[in-house]
Amino acid sequence: MQSPTLRDVYAAKKLIAQYLPRTPLSYSAGLSELMEAEIYLKHEDHLPLGAFKQRGGINLLAHLTPEERGRGVISASTGNHGQSIANACRIFGARAMIVLPENANPLKVAAMRALGADLIFHGTIYDDARGHAEHLAEAEGYRYVHPSNEPLLISGVATQTLEIIEDLPEVEAIFVPLGGGSSVAGACIVAKAVDPQIKVIAVQSAAAAAGYLSWQQGELVQAPMQTFAEGIATGGGYDLPQSIIRHSLDDFILVSDDEIRYAIGLLIEKAHTLAEGAGAAATAGALKYKEQVKGKRVVIIVSGGNITLDQLHDSIKVYQSSN
């Protein structure tokens, strides 16, 4: 696997623009006052499927051969990646099969079903589902799509960072949530090619810290996965994104699940934004990093907004109890 280049990201931008709107970059007066910095939110939650992953699915399916599409496409997901692949398969005329853990987010399950995907439930955590998807791909000859080790997925999702820098060339720091790592890897590719002084900071739940540990130790690490934020709930680091971020990521922050829940409430009150757990993780990280970015121009990526009512209720309780 070869790391995508800035040229690949520009090519992806041209392709994706045929199918997706550009997402807004909005100044948040409330968060800026709280953090004593110039805070902007990149609203990936405004995409039609409610999450950044949609960019990568379109870029990947557009590049598959007719033979690959004809075999059918299979992947594993906790929701947003699966929606992305299902949507792209619908656009480009391929059969989509998504393997999910049995407790997958019901909103995302319904969305994948509505997009025409064949859903296969297996295991209790994401890595169980991923292993089963890989087994089915090998046994049946499907085109397997890894959620992170795909250069076309990374160059597709990297277009969000390209839009950020086009809209705010003076940006000094970008906070990005990390699960598998495609979004953070894409941010590093773009930011460091445009201006190495732009800091890219990854944020992950301490209750699913495999990506952080893999980056810290310089090798792929497995770790317990117990976070409620299914969009960043991975139990291991992945080769391609880790190889990209290992020497180009500026910092990595772990946050607790309650810090993520607090950030969900904060985004509602201060920025009129409804984020899912993964979508609020970068805000939680920025709050924890407040002293280091004071007075700077900062972009926080709101990666998705597909939150359940139960998750929202729990988050509001945490937010209210902390104020």
Contact 270/283 with Cβ under 8 angstroms? no
State the pLDDT at residue 79: 86
CA dihedral 133, 136, 142, 144 (to 10 degrees): 30
Contact 58/15 with Cβ under 8 angstroms? yes
pLDDT in tens, 257-305: 999 999 999 999 999 999 999 999 999 999 999 999 999 999 999 999 9
State the pLDDT at residue 294: 97
- The whole-model pTM stands at 0.95
State the pLDDT at residue 1: 78
State the pLDDT at residue 127: 87
Q: Taking Cα atoms as reference points, which of 271, 263, 264 lies closest to residue 289?
A: 263
Residues 30-43 have a mean pLDDT of 98
Work out the pLDDT band at 223, boundaries 50, 70, 90: very high
> Can you list the domains of the chain with their CATH numbers?
6-51+152-321 (3.40.50.1100), 54-150 (3.40.50.1100)
State the pLDDT at residue 323: 86
pLDDT in tens, 92-140: 999 999 999 999 999 999 999 999 999 999 999 888 999 999 999 999 9
CA distances from 160 to 23, 112, 219, 251, 296 (A): 8, 23, 27, 19, 20
Contact 296/38 with Cβ under 8 angstroms? yes
Contact 204/177 with Cβ under 8 angstroms? yes
Contact residues for 248 (Cβ-Cβ < 8 A; gap 6+): 188, 189, 192, 200
Strand partners, 297: 38
Q: Which residues are catalytic?
A: 53, 303
Burial class (CB in 10 A: 0-12, 13-18, 19+), 274: middle
Burial class (CB in 10 A: 0-12, 13-18, 19+), 239: middle
Work out the pLDDT band at 81, boundaries 50, 70, 90: very high
